[in-house]
Amino acid sequence: MKKIKTLDEALKRINDLEKENEKLKEELEYYKKRKASGRQKHNAKWTAIYNDFAMCYEKGMPIAEIADRNGISERSVYRYKAYYEALKEKENNR
């Protein structure tokens, strides 16, 4: 970057930086509003599927059937199972 020597050069540089700052703010807003991919937080849908999983798992239903019943992958069912077992372990330690 060259050294600024005059007021006009400084004002032009400030104007350029303000334009760049606006573009970056717009980009930041885009990323803030963008939907995150991957696993979601425990929202209503997650809770409903988890509750159904817990009921079926306690009845002894196989993992594959639980996955088919809820329209999720078996891997997701194993994540629910790990969460379920962690909660049960926590209850037992109280």
pLDDT digits (tens, 9 = 90+) for 54-92: 999 999 999 999 999 999 999 999 999 999 999 999 888
Helix or strand holding residue 16 (H, E): helix 7-33
The pLDDT value recorded for residue 16 is 94
Distance of CA 2 to the CA centre of its chain: 43
The pLDDT value recorded for residue 61 is 95
Per-residue DSSP letter, 6: S
CATH number of the domain where residue 49 is located: 1.10.10
Instruction: Judge whether 74 and 63 are in contact, CB under 8 Å.
Output: yes
Give the structural domain span for 83: 44-92
Does 80 map to a domain? yes
Q: pLDDT tens digits, residue range 6-63?
A: 999 999 999 999 999 999 999 999 888 877 666 667 788 889 999 999 999 999 999 9
What is the count of structural domains for the chain? Answer: 2
Q: Are residues 24 and 52 in the same domain?
A: no
Q: Are residues 18 and 50 in the same domain?
A: no
Q: Are residues 88 and 51 in the same domain?
A: yes
Q: Are residues 48 and 86 in the same domain?
A: yes
Does 39 map to a domain? no
